[in-house]
A and B are shown apart, each in its own frame.
Chain A
Amino acid sequence: MAETNTNPQTLWWAVARSEEVTNAKPINVDLGDQPVVLWRDADGVARALEDRCPHRRAPLSLGCVLGNGMIQCGYHGWTYEGETGHLKDIPNLKSTQKFPPLYRAKSYAVAESGGFVRISENPAATQPAVIAAALPLSGTEQVSLTHSEFLNALYDDPALVIAIRGVRFTPYLATELIEANGRLVMERNCQWAGPRWPAPFIPEFPASLLISTEPETGESKLIVRDADFKELLRVILAPVPGSRGVTQVRWRAKLASHRPGIMAKVMGTGAPFEILSAVDGAALRVLRPSVSVHAEALRQGIIDRRTASSQAA
């Protein structure tokens, strides 16, 4: 999990893509070391509980979703309602008894928009801003880097963690990492893939990659633009810290339908965007921290000002 933040319980983490959460089978995700089970209830509303039956600590994600939308532990059949986590049934008891309020699983607040299911540890957390439309392309990868290491690699050498069809990242920045509107923003010059003059000898770059990161969750917007400032690809990338230092990265993307130029059109052949699940350790080890050197100080500065602002309010 991000090392520092204003109040971790109020953050919203994109722990799943909408299509990953169904009423057919619960799924397991992590929020840091905390396992979480997700499913959809009978109304299609995404629900999130701690992935741990309070009865005998078995993962609820190994159970099933009942027709009434509740989740049933696969071990002894204890059945929980999703919104509050209250225990509703122990089938073998053969009674309709009500259970005391203590009999509940830990629940999470859930918000869904833009094709992401987000959860917050604080059930009373203010709902996040609604994202109207979901970008059509999407994927999920589990990356063997911690949350901060993943973001630092993204800043210092994106080619270690992402690939964009037809695009080669250069070491040359159009904008170093700065704060803009409460986000961490940078822009990197790019070349088209294929035989090209080496980047140090290029007077004008044909494209750029803008990265704009929410400082607390690391959720980032990536935009590839051509030299005419035309948007070619837009990606929302949501890294979430998981167990054992793994970062779960979900993303959604949209490739512009009209892309002038042959190389821009090449972006549409095959998958235009992917997260690399395997990181080149040899390259990562010798990667000099450059952009990321100031990232933590910038991030902390934004968070401190947010904290001061919320306390003043």
Chain B
Amino acid sequence: MLETVQTTSHDDDILANAMKPANFQKAVNNWVPHDIALKDAWFPLAHSFAVEAKPVRRSVYSQPFYLWRENGVAVASEFHPNDSERSSKSIYSDASGRYPVLERYGYVWGWYGNPANADPVHLPSIPYLPEEGNLPQHMLGTVRFDCCAPLSLENLIDLTHADFLHADVVGDEKMDKEVVEVFHDSETITMVRSCTNKSVAPIMKRFGGVKDDVQQVRQVIRIYLRSHAAIAYGRFSPGDNVQLFHPCVPETRDRTRLDYTMNTSNVKKSNPFRYLMPKASYKVSRQDSYMTSPQSPRYMNPEKRKDLHSPLDEAGQKYRVLMQALAERQAHGDFSYRDNVSADCSDIIGYDGK
């Protein structure tokens, strides 16, 4: 079971203090995401199908992760098996240079942090992905962002950006009403956006068989802070639900890898939306990069000028504060999980199994 460092009362208070209004605003404006590197987390390093006998290379904060299979079982090492001039190993792997690794939801997950603390109980819950994986490859894909992972996730959790950047895919800002709710614990943040009579997503209108001009939308973004992984679950009426797993692996502090899964097995096999929606990520990710790529260098150093915010930015602001609270706690030597990330979150995201 998890071995944790004894925490102090100071550490217990970090999140509570961070949420106090004065401290909250200070943290929001001290946001330098490139300086945050959280440890003791499972990262979805590769789709399971991508890991075979021949090693593939991944990174977490520039720390090498070589993945391959031995007798069908995925392994992760910081050394390539052909590396005959191994340098001294890091503190993140065992004596033989192997990392803790497990396989679930169609991913090979590697543990970045103290190997002794690795525990499957810290694996994020993803209700709409089968635990054994095995989804068809047309529902999977890889895209990259030229920006740091937290900015990519901050981008995701503020879905008002989609109305402008991705209007030609998911619809514009025209709607009658928009309500945004935000929930959090020490390890996750969840944003629920409910839109009334929103203009129909063009991809649903063109390929998904939706004939109406407006639809009712409930979008949920749930971020597992340490793993930099997000659930993006959308319910559309009329229209099919969208079930996206959106991990943002920080391969380096300023480059992000996204091995996504868009589970469209809920969509009729005769509906082109089932096959096209997963591919929309290639377009949407380029649209995101159009903004996050130039945005990222502007967050590399502390900035005297404060960002301006609107009431719509609550989720992004809380994400900033929660990440900094976790980083501060880890800086104090506390790597424990205060909340259970592997508990089924179906109720939280409103997933009913359909």
Q: Evaluate whether A56 and B295 lie within 8 angstroms (CB atoms) in the complex, with A75-B164, A92-B173 already known.
A: yes
- A90 adjacent to B291 (CB under 8 Å): no
Bound state CA distance, A235 and B93, in angstroms? Answer: 66
User: Which residues of chain A come closer than 8 Å to B308, judged between CB atoms?
Assistant: 54-55, 87, 102-103
Does A301 interact with chain B (Cβ within 8 Å)? no
What per-residue 1/0 map shows which CB atoms of A77-105 lie under 8 Å from chain B?
11000000001001111100000001100
B298: contacting residue among A57, A73, A78, CB under 8 A: A57
Does B290 interact with chain A (Cβ within 8 Å)? yes
Bound state CA distance, A62 and B293, in angstroms? Answer: 12
Q: Evaluate whether A77 and B164 lie within 8 angstroms (CB atoms) in the complex, with A56-B307, A93-B310 already known.
A: yes
- Taking CB atoms and an 8 Å cut-off, the chain A residues in 53-69 that contact chain B are 54-59, 62
User: Which residues of chain A come closer than 8 Å to B294, judged between CB atoms?
Assistant: 58-59, 62
Does A17 interact with chain B (Cβ within 8 Å)? no
**Closest chain B residue to A61 by CB distance?**
B294
Bound state CA distance, A102 and B290, in angstroms? Answer: 27
- A54 adjacent to B178 (CB under 8 Å): no
**How big is chain A's contact interface, by range?**
20 to 34
Query: In the complex, what's the smallest C-beta–C-beta distance from A37 to chain B, in angstroms?
Result: 12
- Taking CB atoms and an 8 Å cut-off, the chain A residues in 233-279 that contact chain B are none
- B307 adjacent to A55 (CB under 8 Å): yes
User: Which residues of chain B come closer than 8 Å to A166, judged between CB atoms?
Assistant: none
- A76 adjacent to B161 (CB under 8 Å): yes
Query: In the complex, what's the smallest C-beta–C-beta distance from B343 to chain A, in angstroms?
Result: 32
Does B304 interact with chain A (Cβ within 8 Å)? no
- B291 adjacent to A58 (CB under 8 Å): yes
Does B163 interact with chain A (Cβ within 8 Å)? yes
- Taking CB atoms and an 8 Å cut-off, the chain B residues in 161-201 that contact chain A are 161, 163-165, 173, 177-178
Query: In the complex, what's the smallest C-beta–C-beta distance from A265 to chain B, in angstroms?
Result: 48
A94: contacting residue among B158, B177, B298, CB under 8 A: B177
Does B353 interact with chain A (Cβ within 8 Å)? no
User: Which residues of chain B come closer than 8 Å to A76, judged between CB atoms?
Assistant: 158, 160-161, 164, 312
Does B337 interact with chain A (Cβ within 8 Å)? no
Does B338 interact with chain A (Cβ within 8 Å)? no
User: Which residues of chain A come closer than 8 Å to B165, judged between CB atoms?
Assistant: 74-75
- A93 adjacent to B312 (CB under 8 Å): yes
Does A52 interact with chain B (Cβ within 8 Å)? yes
A92: contacting residue among B160, B290, B295, CB under 8 A: B160
Bound state CA distance, A91 and B318, in angstroms? Answer: 22
B160: contacting residue among A54, A77, A87, CB under 8 A: A77
- A90 adjacent to B310 (CB under 8 Å): yes
User: Which residues of chain A come closer than 8 Å to B177, judged between CB atoms?
Assistant: 94
Query: In the complex, what's the smallest C-beta–C-beta distance from B319 to chain A, in angstroms?
Result: 13
Chain A residues within CB distance 8 Å of chain B: 52, 54-59, 62, 72-78, 87, 90-94, 102-103
Chain B residues within CB distance 8 Å of chain A: 158, 160-161, 163-165, 173, 177-178, 290-291, 294-295, 298-299, 305, 307-313
What 8 A-B pairs come out closest when comparing CB atoms?
A: A57-B298, A92-B160, A54-B308, A75-B291, A58-B291, A77-B164, A91-B173, A90-B310
